[in-house]
Amino acid sequence: MRSWFSALAIHRKLVVIALAVSGIALATATAGLITFDVFRFRTSAATSVRIVAGMLAQNLAAALVFEDLSEAGEILSTIRTQSQITTACVYRADDSLFAQYERSAMLCPARPVALDDWRSVGVIVPVTRGGTTVGTVYVERSLSDISDRMSVAAMASAGMLAIAGLVAFGAANRLQRVISGPIVELADAARAVGTGPGQELPSIDAPADETGELARALRDMVERLNRGRAELVSANEALHREIDERQRMQEEREALLARERAASRLKDEFLAAVSHELRTPLNVIMGWAQLLATAAPGDPAFVRGIASVLRNAHAQRRVIDDLLDVSRITAGKLQLKFHRVDLRSIVQSSLEVIAPAVSAKDVLVESKLPDGACLVRGDHDRLQQVLWNLLSNALKFTPSGGKVGVHLVQSDSHCILTVSDTGIGIEGSFLPHVFDRFRQADGTTTREHQGLGLGLAIVKELVELHGGTVRASSEGLGKGATLSVTLPSLSGHEWPGRDEGTRGAESEPLLAGISVLAVDDDLDTLEVLGSALRSAGAGVRLASSGAEAVDLWQQAPSDILLCDLGMPHMDGFAVLSSIRRLEAGSGDAAPALALTAYASEESRVQCLDAGFEGRITKPYDATQLVRSVAQAVGRLPVPQR
């Protein structure tokens, strides 16, 4: 019952409650009314019986006194209209039965005793005459009509209940909407919030009672819920962003780490290569030096030995030059001296330089050059370096019997130089790294083919400093490689400088008639220096210390001073200042060049500040040395800085 009721919808509950309440009230009232009616009816029945009995007693006195039975019967018969009276009895004064009237077969009691039960009510009334009691009348009335009356009342009540129930049902059905309407609406809204997207609570026309309060509370709750959800969403997004950011940073860090590892590995490999490259010629030089130290003069091995020592010293110097170049380029301190340069003559001279190596290796070189000059704006020496690097690279990787092609083409705006070979070629995957520093195709290549792997890197940097581009291409391993350099070309009148590249070979020694004082504490270096200058035609005096140099200068000044900077007791700067003091009286100032192993720009500035015209960095080759000296004394023009 309870669960059945609690499972009902609220509007049905209201109807049921209304029906139950009105039904109970009506039933109670009806029961009370019926009870009251029965009681009253009973009372009035008793009263009417008493009246009848009294009337009979009044009239029966004479009949009793004179023992007239027929008269008594007649008087008794007057109550025949009272259909509910079942018995009427007349007793004498001594309570003996005198006469009786009977509607039913009921007998008179032996003695007159009042009766009062649910079936019937009996009253006794004394018969008096002249102040004495002459007898008693007993009248009994059946109460059977009460149950009739009750059943009629019950039926009427049932009918009334039914009608009232219908009316109450109708009324409750209409009136319950006042209460259940907002609740049902609220429930629908709450359900919509619970199951749907639920961003907004539909506005509810809520009354100003508890339902309204509930609606307002629900709306507040939904708003708070939405706020919370929005905060959650934004927090979630922030979290996602942070996670993404961290992931990205992690990936960057890993990539960086990988690059650093690769770089570190490259540097290790490079260091190994450097030490190998430096050690190999050194071994040869030391070997020959030991042999020659014990060999008798005039031994034919001398010529071969000296040649070998020179070759290996050159090779070692090249390695060091390359390293220094790369260092300069990396530091951005490479200074280019731009002139109008004929690329064709550089190519020609380069081919002449490598000709001995070409013939030694039995490689065929095919060159195809334009008829006219191919002018570019550039640094002659650096472009020469580019050519050497490209050619020596091609030679290095081309086996005996192979071919190297050198093509120079002058287009409208560019000079395009192509060096191709039939060598080992380049693997497709390595092509992008051909120009990377410290990078060679792999370890085995490094072992088979000597070198630091810096050649092409230097080529690329130099060409790009000239505003040109380099490209490498290869059909694959074993199919040869092609490197092409494109430089912007100059038309004849664009550069009004001298044409350095077309300079012819020197007809007479550059330094003929020039006196030179060379100072170095290292006697070997001093020896080499002296022979190089003498072969250029200069008159040379040598000093192995600063003091000796100052003494020599005091005896007779020279046309130019070549002085090592780092010497014990008296360094280069002190030597120069002493000589300048000696010169102070004459008013003459001979040019001075510093010899130094420090190639940095700093040391250059330091030299200039100290009064040196320039400096020659060790190691130096004879040609460069001679050119620098010639420039310092005005035998050669000084290149613009």
Partner 1 sequence: VILVGITTVLTLLPRPAVSQPLREAELKAAVVAKFPQFVDWPPSLGSVIDLCVAASEEFSAVLRAFVDGEGVNERGMLVREIGRPESIEGCDLLFISGRSAREGRALLAAARSLPILTVGDSPTVMDDGGMIGLRMVGGRVRFEVNPVAAANSGLRISAQLLRLALAIRGGG
- H/E element holding 566? none
**56 is an interface residue for partner 1 by CB under 8 A:** no
Specify the stretch interacting with partner 1 by CB under 8 A; choose among 14-22, 58-66, 309-317, 591-599. 58-66
**290 is an interface residue for partner 1 by CB under 8 A:** no
At residue 560, the 3 state secondary structure works out as strand
- With b for 16 or more beta-carbon neighbours within 10 A and e for fewer, the 177-206 pattern comes to eebbebbebbeebbeebeeeebeebeebeb
**28 is an interface residue for partner 1 by CB under 8 A:** no
Least distance (Å) between residue 109 CB and partner 1: 14
Tell me how many degrees the CA angle 174-175-177 measures, rounded to the nearest 5: 80
- H/E element holding 16? helix 10-65
Report the residue number, 126 or 165, with the smaller CB distance to partner 1.
126
**477 is an interface residue for partner 1 by CB under 8 A:** no
- Which residues, other chains included, contact 322 with Cβ-Cβ below 8 Å and sequence gap of 6+? 452, 454, 455, 458
**138 is an interface residue for partner 1 by CB under 8 A:** no
| CA dihedral over 152, 154, 155, 161, signed as positive or negative | positive
Using CB under 8 A, pick the residue from 18, 41, 48, 68 that binds partner 1.
68
CA–CA gap between residue 245 and residue 564 (Å, rounded): 58
Specify the stretch interacting with partner 1 by CB under 8 A; choose among 126-134, 222-230, 424-432, 458-466. 126-134
Using CB under 8 A, pick the residue from 29, 69, 156, 289 that binds partner 1.
69
Using CB under 8 A, pick the residue from 22, 30, 59, 384 that binds partner 1.
59
Which residues, 529 to 588, sit near partner 1 by CB under 8 A?
none
Using CB under 8 A, pick the residue from 77, 199, 250, 450 that binds partner 1.
77
Least distance (Å) between residue 83 CB and partner 1: 13
Least distance (Å) between residue 127 CB and partner 1: 11
Least distance (Å) between residue 138 CB and partner 1: 14
Tell me how many degrees the CA angle 591-593-599 measures, rounded to the nearest 5: 150
Least distance (Å) between residue 80 CB and partner 1: 6
**324 is an interface residue for partner 1 by CB under 8 A:** no
Report the residue number, 67 or 237, with the smaller CB distance to partner 1.
67
The count of residues interacting with partner 1 (CB under 8 A) is 27
Report the residue number, 71 or 499, with the smaller CB distance to partner 1.
71
CA–CA gap between residue 63 and residue 92 (Å, rounded): 11
The single-letter DSSP state of residue 21 is: H
CA–CA gap between residue 639 and residue 641 (Å, rounded): 6
CA–CA gap between residue 88 and residue 317 (Å, rounded): 168
**349 is an interface residue for partner 1 by CB under 8 A:** no
Least distance (Å) between residue 126 CB and partner 1: 15
Q: How many CB atoms lie within 10 A of CB 146?
A: 18
Helices marked H in 417-467: 443-448, 455-465
Write each residue from 408 to 427 as x if it is in contact with partner 1 (CB under 8 A), else as -, in one continuous string. --------------------
At residue 502, the 3 state secondary structure works out as helix
Q: Based on the number of CB atoms within 10 Å of its own CB, is 122 exposed (0-12), middle (13-18) or buried (19 or more)?
A: buried
**126 is an interface residue for partner 1 by CB under 8 A:** no
Q: How far is CA 470 from CA 394, 463, 466, 486, 633, in A?
A: 15, 7, 11, 6, 39
**61 is an interface residue for partner 1 by CB under 8 A:** yes
CA–CA gap between residue 98 and residue 624 (Å, rounded): 185
Least distance (Å) between residue 39 CB and partner 1: 33
At residue 394, the 3 state secondary structure works out as helix
Report the residue number, 136 or 558, with the smaller CB distance to partner 1.
136
Using CB under 8 A, pick the residue from 67, 213, 362, 464 that binds partner 1.
67
| CA dihedral over 381, 383, 389, 392, signed as positive or negative | negative
Specify the stretch interacting with partner 1 by CB under 8 A; choose among 13-21, 72-80, 193-201, 621-629. 72-80
Using CB under 8 A, pick the residue from 99, 538, 550, 579 that binds partner 1.
99
Using CB under 8 A, pick the residue from 12, 42, 50, 129 that binds partner 1.
129
Using CB under 8 A, pick the residue from 1, 3, 7, 70 that binds partner 1.
70
CA 253 to chain CA centroid, Å, is 14
Which residues, 78 to 97, sit near partner 1 by CB under 8 A?
80, 96-97
**435 is an interface residue for partner 1 by CB under 8 A:** no
**63 is an interface residue for partner 1 by CB under 8 A:** yes
Q: Which residue has the tokens 């003498």?
A: 534
- The residues that touch partner 1, with contacts defined as CB under 8 A, are 59, 61-63, 65-71, 73-74, 76-77, 80, 96-102, 129-132
